[in-house]
Amino acid sequence: MLSGYWRLVPDLVIEVASPTQYGPEMAEKAKQRQLAGAQLVWIVWPAAKRVDIWQQGKNGAPVATLGAGDTLNVQALPALAGFSIALGDLFSWPS
């Protein structure tokens, strides 16, 4: 019988910020995920309708911030190559 949990880091981590969370707190979470080995971290801000994109090795800061009029594409991860989503669709759900 197995006990405990697996010690692995996903290539992509998606964090959804709650209304009580703020920028520096979420930035610290993104940095921690990257230090653990995550290649990409997306911080989703539903209230602001934006997504901050953090990429491994890019100076510990978001490489992009996308809004409701943008399309989120994954090019940095071969396993998700070709995935895209219109953020306007994401932020309008559920309608």
Q: What CATH number is attached to the domain comprising 38?
A: 3.90.1570.10
**Residue 21 DSSP code:** -
Is residue 5 one of the residues assigned to a domain? no
pLDDT number for residue 68: 93
Beta strands (DSSP E) in 4-70 are 12-16, 40-45, 50-55, 64-67
Percent over 70 (pLDDT), the chain = 95
Q: Which structure tokens are listed for 91?
A: 């932020």
Is residue 52 one of the residues assigned to a domain? yes
Total count of domains within the chain: 1
**Does residue 94 have a cis peptide bond before it, meaning omega lies within 30 degrees of 0?**
yes
pTM, entire model: 0.84
Phi, psi of 80 (to 5 degrees): -115, 15
The parent domain of residue 25 ranges over 12-91
The vertex-59 CA angle with 69 and 78, nearest 5°, equals: 60
Is residue 2 one of the residues assigned to a domain? no
> What's the pLDDT tens digit per position in 68-93?
999 998 877 777 888 899 999 988 87
